[in-house]
Amino acid sequence: MGLTWYRRDEEAVLAALRRGERPDLATTMASGPLDELVALHQELGIFQALDDLEVARERAGVPDGLLLRTLATLPFLKEPSLSGAAGALFREPAILLQLGWAPVQIRQGDNGRHRHAEGRQPESLPCHPDTLRDMLQRISEEAWEKAQRVGVKALYHRGLVRGKVYAIDGSGLGKELRLVALVCVSGERPVIVAWRLLTGTASEKGKEAAVTRELVEQALELGGKDCIGLLLADALYADGPLLAWLKYAEGIDALVRLPADRLLYEDLQGLTRGEQIPWTRHRYLRKVRGHKEIRTVEVAAAGELTSWDSFLEAAKGYEQPQASLWACLIREVAPSQQPVEEAIALVSTREWADGFAALQAFRPRWHIEDDSYRELKEGWGLEEQRWGRDPEATRGRVTLTCLAFNTAQVYRSLGGEKRAHMAIRRLRRQYQPELGAAPAVIYVAGCYAVLSLEELLAAVGVLVRETLLPKLPKAPTSRASPPPAATLPLAGLRLSLGAYLQ
């Protein structure tokens, strides 16, 4: 495929349009939420991380980096399937230009491998979805984990992971597939800082505590040794040795929901029945899926408990022979009455002021279920559409979706929209408000130009009565045509919007 060079010459383009010449190509440069999310993704270093991924085997056709940037954009689309999202993205030439697709690739495609008997079909432009799926299968688990680390480290580096309260939990994504994630839940919006996709026997219950330690170690490596102050979890993800390691090796307190079949739970029930620890009543306002309600609970707490043998034994290895735990029982009184025998229990390596303080501290854990897993499954389609049946495709889908989820969380946070605006300005390299929000790029007569919609309409003989564009004074060289030697290839360049606005 050869290159066709176009010189930037606005006067030549306008003259050709006035003569009625048909443009070779016309596309907009709209600036909507998707543009800003893509720009913010690039600002956070996600595209650079993907460009640096090691690919298991080389493949002729579209460059791997371009395919990976395209795949990284698909989770932002509302269509959950790979084919549906790719089809929607391929109808957005302005976004494709941002990702690096050259105009000739968008028009003619850039992959000689197509599977239709009649040759390349319109749905194969700029490439067939199967080419994207094949890209996923050529990335190893280690490479995806590296991309995960680079993407999360950028969030820590920019101060976008705020607070020291974290939660860990897992959720099934189908038969023998389980996603376990460590989430910072103390900020304005939850951010996923580490995750693992467990398959086969690795997803069986009883091994989650080992995964918890691995994820916590990864977060400490990326965010610093003091980035976690409190870990919220269910007992499934926090056994005795893990609690001892968190407390005495890393200085991290844990607050864990305790199952009813544990000896420690039975001890708490016995203490309340014997009236050795009192019940206290508390009322508070809580919000459940947008609905507010007043809830009344009774709590009873006790400290210096030693009914968790594996914790005590592990604590001795850290020279803590007198280690003990704090725990409490919590039962709802209103709006519904909960029997004492069904009260939930929390156990902690920290001595809390009372059971109600521990309950309030544990409440952010629900962000990992409602605002993370539920959002990933229902909003991002992660469970319904895994982009392929093989583990490699699923692992890639999970990684790219979690990275996109974090970028969206930054975008939705206070100051995130401003950060996104700055990112897209840097992407364009030069801010020109006189072009409006959606200028057009016109290729004709061997030249190209970036025109406002009003200029374009005037060139084809349709004048607008009024314009909302600001009347800005033009700098002497702001939009002057470059010397004849200045040219732009129609293909072969990794284009950004800034390339058109220089």
Tokens representing 123 are 């749905």
Whether the Cβ atoms of residue 367 and residue 185 lie closer than 8 Å to each other: yes
> In this predicted structure, what is the pLDDT of residue 98?
79
* One-letter amino acid of 131: T
Extract the tokens encoding 419.
């950060």
CATH architecture of 161-379: Alpha-Beta Complex (3.90)
CA atoms within 13 A on the CB side of 482: 13
Q: Which ranges constitute the DSSP H helices of 328-390?
A: 355-362, 367, 374
Domain ranges of the chain: 30-141+381-426, 161-379
Q: What is the dihedral of CA 393, 394, 398, 401, to 10 degrees?
A: 60
Amino acid 149 reads R
What is the token pair recorded at 89?
């993205």
* Lowest-confidence pick of 77-86, 340-349, 421-430: 421-430
Residue 350 pLDDT: 96
Torsion sign across C-alpha atoms 492, 496, 500, 502 = negative
CA gyration radius, the chain: 28
Cα–Cα distances in angstroms (integers) from residue 357 to residues 13, 279, 292, in the given order:
69, 14, 20
Averaged pLDDT for residues 366-391: 89
Which one-letter DSSP state was computed for residue 48?
Answer: H
| pLDDT per residue as tens digits for the range 22-74 | 888 777 665 578 888 888 898 899 999 998 888 876 676 788 899 999 999 99
Per-residue pLDDT of 304-325, as tens digits, reads 999 999 999 999 999 999 999 9
Distances (CA, A) of 369 to 183, 289, 436: 10, 11, 42
Q: What is the pLDDT of residue 62?
A: 82
CB under 8 Å to 354, separation ≥6 — which residues? 280, 299, 301, 328
Of the listed ranges 35-44, 92-101, 139-148, 232-241, the least confidently predicted one is 92-101
Kindly report whether the peptide bond that precedes residue 482 is cis, defined as omega within 30 degrees of 0: no
Tell me: the pLDDT tens digits for 269-305?
999 999 999 999 999 988 766 678 899 999 999 999 9
Reply yes or no on whether the pLDDT at 426 is more than 90: no
- HSE-up (13 A, CA, CB side) for residue 142: 3
pTM over the 0.95 mark: no
3-state secondary structure of 489: strand
Q: How far apart are CA 325 and CA 267, in angstroms?
A: 12
Mean pLDDT of the region 204-209: 65
* Confidence at residue 114, expressed as pLDDT on a 0 to 100 scale: 52
When the pLDDT of each residue in the chain is averaged and rounded to a whole number, the result is 82
